[in-house]
């Protein structure tokens, strides 16, 4: 069992730009590296991405293992997994953090399986704690119902791998005076890597409007919005507050929001300054999506709805009465604030 | 010709009853008893995809699940949708498995069942939702795999081109069979079973295997085979204020807005 | 005694429930308002094998039986009674042909009826009476190798959309059953009645004016028409109406119960008030009782008992279930207050539909006549 190895953050870049989540993981990585007294490093695969590698250093990576090759320009399932597993086996980090992006969600389990090691998904926090009088890295994962969380550990196998969704952890602070080593590793890319599976094309469609993850105010409609028949009031409230409209799974099932505005376990995680849940019951698989918000306002007609346990301010009432009233009250005083 | 198609399914608690689920304080495991259960919704999309491929190219659809005895009901539902035979992996020894141990269990069962051309999984489950078993199983089987699949096109019978979701956009990936695909809800609309298929289900084969039937070494399955485990369940120290507004609707709204202003939220 | 449904029946219920919730419920209000026949939904039902459950596989049916049919009609009616009622009336001629018709009839008509590509109706009632069937005036006179029919039938469900209609006419001093196809010269739909409930299922009057039908169009033997009609109406009509009633009752109960748990008055859900609990308790008990009367009757039919053997059971389940449906619907409207009168909340629509069931397949009083006469024999 290896407890002296480095802490690694798997950096993800697309078209040379680092994904936000990589920078978020570096902040947690720095905390852990300080606490445990080991080096924080990062790994990056791609082609002509040295600028991104430097960004990783500016955000706290003491070392960056850079694997560049023209054939690695885009995510390639077999090549990336094999090379990552290889570099991990060679350098034996003890902890590997990876962002649960669409790509990370596929790459992480492949690498973990190659290494026959543990991988925890949906992690919302990491810290060194104690289990049975021994120090362990605690992977905090949302539990079922209300305010419960589970503590997951990976006591034996190494590295222990943890996947974290974008938007959960705070971003590391950028400091262009930080120094770190960018170690170029010549990746052993083989033709065989592309024989059975090959990324043929990447089509990126820039998002319309403000992104959910960067909004200061998120107004989220859930099952309870059924009573209102449509979603227009949710958008109206979002507009007044200068925020973004979103929905939980029932709202998406009704066609009121699409995947890009979906909040919850299978959707996005947001941590805005103000989160307003309208008819969002508070069942576990939705609450993980907004647990990190600074202030939560909940409106629901059921006084027993679990969401009231997870809210700062709660209004029990019929949305058809509360929403117009709320909108009217806020209209009176239309000064959007920055958080 | 005929393709051998495998669909992996999981029985999960009915999402409408999620709020009734309790965690076992010690193990962190979900107490499922008494909660109505369904086939994981995305697994139905996976099954629908498998059925369409079978209808197009001829072949056989085997449906497999690792679960407690009541998971047999989910397999029956899959057979009623059109699956040809069901395989239930049911053994106390499989319990407590994390995703790697689950993938291992499925791996040993698949090894016993024989070669498959295509394996379909739902991208993630509505309960644990890790989206890990599919990629890990493919790794153990050493076959190519793609997650987030929402469109599949067959080149010839040995090559596929799929579209897989990105946050904003998609990737086109070419794969050679045998392959494993994890599908999303956008890929198809699962069919409703017909009266005819309901009446035929009793004739379909249902295999039930334990650990010894599939030759799975104890250290690779269940709790023993899980690199990760739950150390406990705790209250999340969210520190929410939980202030419920009182009075008439107008009063509640007025007070709420005032409090939000005080908290600096608006 | 094992009161559990078989696994197949459970799976059937799950499937119909999902069909009803995902494909019927979203359109229910709209279809009801438009008052148009629901062709699309009928075809889907046929695709799923739900229409021909008492027809043999040889002719496109699934032969799953009467209990299966009861469950199908119940689950559909819980969400959209007109469609459930269609499974009642639309099955009448299908049963008559299956039981009394010859091979030619079966091959010609059953496959497309089972698939939902074509629909049928069955006509007994005239201005002279429905309960008093023997007083009918519609007459079929033999003329060489064909019959000439004259008369009018009224209050017949579903004639307008029907491709083929079965009816009974006097032949001499007896009665015979016939098949007439849409478009036949001398067959004309003359009126559509305005009904308070089951609005998207037309109720029509039609006229037969010197309508010539070949001998082949006789269902069964000449003179055996009333046996055909009454057996059909008892076995399919009354049980079907009972199934619709059961579905309506359960639908009202579930909606009212959910409402009562959510509607907060005086600081708590009204479900905490005894008055409301008593009403819901009454509904609960009656629905359960009605359910067992209906299911046991259907089950016995599946065991091979005839509608003669089961005359009392059949009359009883229709009588009771329909009364229960009306009572539950009314209670549901009551529990829900003003919301109960709003079409959006469905219960007022279910009450309107329940009102139509009293006279379906024999009036409530005729059910009592059947029961009373039989038990006092």
Min mean pLDDT across A41-50, A285-294, B21-30, C333-342 is at: B21-30
Cβ of B240 under 8 Å from any chain A Cβ? yes
The pLDDT, as a whole number, for residue C47 is 95
Gap between the Cα atoms of A270 and A263, Å rounded? 8
Put simply, the answer to whether A196 touches B143 (Cβ < 8 Å) is yes
Are A301 and A280 spatial neighbours (Cβ–Cβ below 8 Å)?
no
Q: What is the side-by-side strand order in the sheet with B205-209?
A: A197-204, B169-176, B159-166, B145-154, B179-183, B118-122, B3-8, B59-66, B85-89, B205-209
Output the CATH code of domain C226-375: 1.20.140.10
Please tell me which residue of chain B has the smallest CA distance to C54: B195
Q: Which of A118, A116, A124 is nearest to A100 (CA)?
A: A124
Min mean pLDDT across A1-15, C159-173, C336-350, C356-370 is at: A1-15
Q: Which of B77, B195, B202 is opposite residue C12, by nearest beta carbon?
A: B195
pLDDT band at A334 (very low <50, low <70, confident <90, very high): low
The pLDDT, as a whole number, for residue B27 is 63
Which chains form contacts with chain B, at 3 or more CB pairs under 8 Å? A, C
Put simply, the answer to whether C8 touches B201 (Cβ < 8 Å) is yes
Q: Which residues contact A274 (CB under 8 A, 6 or more apart)?
A: A216, A217, A218, A241, A243, A293, A294, A295, A296, A297, A339, B260, B265, B266
Q: Extract the runs of DSSP E, i.e. beta strands, from C135-214.
A: 139-143, 146-157, 164-171, 174-181, 187-193, 203-214
Helix C81-100 and helix C347-355, axial crossing angle in degrees, nearest 10: 30
User: Best-predicted range by mean pLDDT among A231-235, A257-261, B147-151?
Assistant: B147-151
Which chains form contacts with chain C, at 3 or more CB pairs under 8 Å? A, B
Query: Which residues from chain B sit within 8 angstroms of residue A311, using beta carbons?
Result: 240-242
pLDDT band at A335 (very low <50, low <70, confident <90, very high): low
Min mean pLDDT across A61-65, B55-59, C132-136 is at: C132-136
Where is B100: in which H helix or E strand?
A: helix B99-113
Query: Which residues from chain B sit within 8 angstroms of residue A137, using beta carbons?
Result: none
Q: What is the mean pLDDT of chain B?
A: 92
Query: Which residues from chain A sit within 8 angstroms of residue B28, using beta carbons?
Result: 143, 150-152
Please state the rounded mean pLDDT for residues C354-360: 95
Min mean pLDDT across A74-88, A309-323, C111-125 is at: A309-323
Put simply, the answer to whether B145 touches A106 (Cβ < 8 Å) is yes
Report whether pLDDT(B238) > 80: no
DSSP string for B143-185: --EEEEEEEEEESSTTEEEEEEEETTEEEEEEEESSEEEEE-G
Gap between the Cα atoms of B42 and C214, Å rounded? 56
Report whether pLDDT(A322) > 90: yes
Mark out chain A residues that contact chain C at CB-CB < 8 A. Answer: 301-303, 316
pLDDT band at A338 (very low <50, low <70, confident <90, very high): very low
Please state the rounded mean pLDDT for residues C212-224: 95
Please tell me which residue of chain A has the smallest CA distance to C267: A303
Q: Which of B190, B186, B134 is nearest to B163 (CA)?
A: B186
The pLDDT, as a whole number, for residue A66 is 97
Are A155 and A118 spatial neighbours (Cβ–Cβ below 8 Å)?
no
Are A11 and A43 spatial neighbours (Cβ–Cβ below 8 Å)?
yes
The pLDDT, as a whole number, for residue A331 is 87
Please state the rounded mean pLDDT for residues A163-182: 92
- Decide: pTM greater than 0.80: yes
Report whether pLDDT(B233) > 90: no
Token pair, residue C72, equals: 């199908």
Tell me if the domain spanning C121-224 has CATH number 2.60.120.560: no
Please state the rounded mean pLDDT for residues C273-302: 98
Cβ of C142 under 8 Å from any chain B Cβ? no
The pLDDT, as a whole number, for residue C344 is 85
Question: Which SS3 state, helix, strand or coil, does residue A68 take?
Answer: strand
**Which of C83 and A334 is assigned the larger pLDDT?**
C83
Question: Which SS3 state, helix, strand or coil, does residue B246 take?
Answer: coil
Cβ of C6 under 8 Å from any chain B Cβ? no
Cβ of C59 under 8 Å from any chain B Cβ? no
Report whether pLDDT(B84) > 80: yes
Q: Extract the runs of DSSP E, i.e. beta strands, from chain A.
A: 7-10, 13-14, 17-18, 40-46, 63-68, 95-99, 119-120, 125-131, 134-142, 148-153, 160-164, 181-185, 197-204, 217-221, 244-247, 274-278, 295-300, 313-316
pLDDT band at A158 (very low <50, low <70, confident <90, very high): very high
Residue C268 to chain A, least CA–CA distance (Å): 9
C-alpha dihedral, A9 to A15 to A21 to A26, nearest 10° = 40
Q: Which residues contact C370 (CB under 8 A, 6 or more apart)?
A: C311, C312, C315, C362
The sign of the dihedral angle between the CA atoms of B103, B106, B108, B110 is negative
**Which of A146 and B256 is assigned the larger pLDDT?**
B256
Report whether pLDDT(B228) > 50: yes
pLDDT band at C310 (very low <50, low <70, confident <90, very high): very high
Please state the rounded mean pLDDT for residues C169-196: 95
| Percent residues over pLDDT 90 in chain B | 79
Gap between the Cα atoms of C243 and C245, Å rounded? 5
Report whether pLDDT(A339) > 50: no
Token pair, residue B7, equals: 């669909």
Query: Which residues from chain C sit within 8 angstroms of residue B202, using beta carbons?
Result: 7-8
Question: Which SS3 state, helix, strand or coil, does residue A96 take?
Answer: strand
Query: Which residues from chain A sit within 8 angstroms of residue B100, using beta carbons?
Result: 112-113, 116-119
Report whether pLDDT(A199) > 90: yes
Q: Fold for C7-118, please state it.
A: Butyryl-Coa Dehydrogenase, subunit A; domain 1 (1.10.540)
The domains of chain C are located at 7-118, 121-224, 226-375
The pLDDT, as a whole number, for residue A71 is 96
Q: What is the mean pLDDT of chain C?
A: 95
Gap between the Cα atoms of A122 and A284, Å rounded? 13
Q: What is the mean pLDDT of chain A?
A: 90
Put simply, the answer to whether A150 touches B28 (Cβ < 8 Å) is yes
Q: Which of A98, A44, A107, A100 is nearest to A78 (CA)?
A: A107
Put simply, the answer to whether A316 touches C264 (Cβ < 8 Å) is yes
Put simply, the answer to whether B257 touches A329 (Cβ < 8 Å) is yes
Please state the rounded mean pLDDT for residues A216-243: 89
Put simply, the answer to whether C48 touches B80 (Cβ < 8 Å) is no
- Complex ipTM, two decimals? 0.91
pLDDT band at B1 (very low <50, low <70, confident <90, very high): low
Min mean pLDDT across A78-87, A181-190, A240-249 is at: A240-249
Domains identified in chain A and CATH numbers: 7-194 (3.40.50.620), 212-331 (3.40.50.1220)
Where is C234: in which H helix or E strand?
A: none
pLDDT tens, C137-180? 999 999 999 999 999 999 999 999 999 999 999 999 999 999 99
**Which of B201 and A212 is assigned the larger pLDDT?**
B201
């Amino acid at each position: 069992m290896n407890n002296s190895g480095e802490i690694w953050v798997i950096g993800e870049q697309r078209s040379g730009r680092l994904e936000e989540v990589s920078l978020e993981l570096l902040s947690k990585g720095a905390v852990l590296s300080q606490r445990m007294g080991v080096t924080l490093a990062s790994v990056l695969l791609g082609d002509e991405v040295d600028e991104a590698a430097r960004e990783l250093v500016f955000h706290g990576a003491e070392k960056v293992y850079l694997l560049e090759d023209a054939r690695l320009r885009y995510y390639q399932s077999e090549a990336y997994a094999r090379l990552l597993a290889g570099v991990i086996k060679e350098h034996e980090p003890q902890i590997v953090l990876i962002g649960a992006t669409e790509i990370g969600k596929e790459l992480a389990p492949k690498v973990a399986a190659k290494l026959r090691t543990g991988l925890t998904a949906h992690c919302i926090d990491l810290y060194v704690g104690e289990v049975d009088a021994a120090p362990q890295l605690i992977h905090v994962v949302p539990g079922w119902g209300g305010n419960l969380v589970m503590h997951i550990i990976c006591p034996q196998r190494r590295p222990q791998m943890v996947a974290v969704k974008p938007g959960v952890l705070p971003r590391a602070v950028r400091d262009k005076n930080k120094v770190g080593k960018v170690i170029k590793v010549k990746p052993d890319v083989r033709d065989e890597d592309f024989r059975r599976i090959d990324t043929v094309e990447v089509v990126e469609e820039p998002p319309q409007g403000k992104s959910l993850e960067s909004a200061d105010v998120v107004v989220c409609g859930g099952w309870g919005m059924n009573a209102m028949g449509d979603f227009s009031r949710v958008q109206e409230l979002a507009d007044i507050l200068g925020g973004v409209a979103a929905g939980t799974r029932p709202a998406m099932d009704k066609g009121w929001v699409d995947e890009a505005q979906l909040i919850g376990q299978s959707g996005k995680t947001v941590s805005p300054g103000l989160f307003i849940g309208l008819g969002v019951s508070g069942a576990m698989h939705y609450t993980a999506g907004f647990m990190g918000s600074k202030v939560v306002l909940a409106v629901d007609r059921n006084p027993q709805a679990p969401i009231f346990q997870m809210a700062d301010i709660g209004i029990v009432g019929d949305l058809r009465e509360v929403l117009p009233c709320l909108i009217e009250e806020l209209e009176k005083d239309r000064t959007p604030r920055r958080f | 010709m005929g393709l051998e198609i495998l669909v992996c399914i999981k029985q999960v608690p009915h999402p409408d009853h999620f709020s009734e689920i309790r965690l076992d304080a010690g193990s962190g495991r979900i107490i499922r008893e008494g909660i109505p259960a369904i086939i994981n919704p995305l697994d139905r999309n996976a099954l629908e995809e498998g059925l369409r491929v079978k209808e197009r190219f001829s072949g056989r659809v085997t449906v497999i699940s690792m679960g407690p005895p009541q998971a047999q009901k989910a397999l029956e539902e899959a057979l009623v949708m059109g699956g040809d035979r069901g395989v239930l992996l049911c053994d106390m020894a499989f319990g407590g498995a994390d995703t790697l141990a689950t993938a291992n269990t499925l791996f040993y069962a698949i090894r016993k069942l024989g070669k498959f051309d295509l394996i379909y999984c739902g991208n993630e489950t509505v309960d644990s939702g890790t989206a890990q078993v599919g990629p890990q199983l493919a790794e153990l089987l050493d076959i190519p795999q793609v997650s987030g699949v929402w469109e599949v096109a067959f080149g010839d019978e040995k090559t596929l081109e799929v579209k897989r979701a990105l946050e904003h956009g998609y990737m086109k990936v070419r794969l050679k069979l045998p392959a494993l695909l994890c599908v999303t809800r956008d890929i198809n609309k699962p069919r409703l079973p017909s009266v005819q298929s309901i009446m035929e289900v009793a004739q379909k084969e249902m295999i039930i295997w334990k650990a010894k039937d599939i030759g799975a070494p104890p250290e690779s399955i269940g709790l023993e085979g899980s690199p990760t485990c739950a150390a406990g369940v705790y209250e999340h120290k969210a520190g929410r204020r939980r202030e419920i507004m009182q009075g008439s609707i107008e009063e509640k709204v007025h007070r709420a807005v005032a409090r939000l202003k005080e908290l600096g939220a608006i | 005694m094992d009161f559990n449904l078989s696994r197949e029946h459970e799976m059937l219920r799950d499937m119909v429930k999902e069909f009803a919730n995902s494909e019927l419920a979203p359109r229910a209000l709209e279809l009801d308002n438009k008052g148009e026949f629901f062709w699309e939904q009928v075809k889907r039902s046929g695709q799923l094998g739900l229409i021909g459950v008492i027809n043999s596989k040889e002719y496109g049916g699934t032969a799953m039986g009467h209990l299966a049919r009861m469950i199908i009609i119940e689950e559909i009616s819980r969400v959209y009674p007109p469609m459930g009622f269609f499974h009642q009336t639309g099955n009448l001629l299908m049963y008559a042909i299956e039981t009394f018709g010859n091979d030619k009839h079966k091959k010609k008509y059953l496959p497309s009826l089972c698939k939902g590509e074509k629909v049928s109706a069955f006509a007994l009632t005239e201005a002279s009476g429905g309960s008093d069937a023997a007083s009918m005036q519609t007459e079929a006179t033999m003329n060489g190798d064909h019959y000439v029919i004259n008369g009018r039938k009224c209050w017949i469900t579903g004639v307008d959309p029907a491709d083929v209609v079965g009816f009974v006419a006097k032949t001499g001093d007896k009665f015979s059953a016939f098949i007439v196809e849409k478009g036949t010269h001398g067959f004309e739909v003359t009126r559509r009645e305005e009904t308070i409930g089951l609005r998207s299922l037309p109720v029509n009057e039609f006229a037969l004016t010197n309508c010539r039908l070949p001998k082949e169009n006789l269902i069964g033997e000449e003179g055996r028409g009333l046996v055909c009609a009454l057996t059909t109406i008892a076995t399919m009509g009354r049980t079907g109406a009972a199934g619709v009633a059961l579905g309506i009752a359960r639908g009202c109960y579930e909606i009212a119960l959910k409402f009562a748990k959510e509607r907060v008055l005086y600081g708590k859900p009204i479900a905490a008030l005894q008055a409301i609990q008593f009403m819901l308790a009454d509904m609960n008990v009656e629905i359960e009782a009605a359910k067992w009367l209906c299911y046991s009757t259907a089950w016995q039919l599946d065991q091979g008992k005839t509608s003669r053997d089961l005359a009392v059971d059949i009359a009883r389940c229709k009588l009771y279930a329909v009364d229960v449906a009306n009572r539950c619907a009314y209670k549901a409207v009551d529990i829900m207050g003003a919301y109960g009168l709003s079409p959006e909340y469905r219960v007022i629509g279910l009450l309107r539909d329940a009102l139509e069931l009293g006279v379906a397949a024999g009036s409530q009083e005729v059910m009592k006549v059947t029961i009373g006469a039989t038990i006092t024999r």
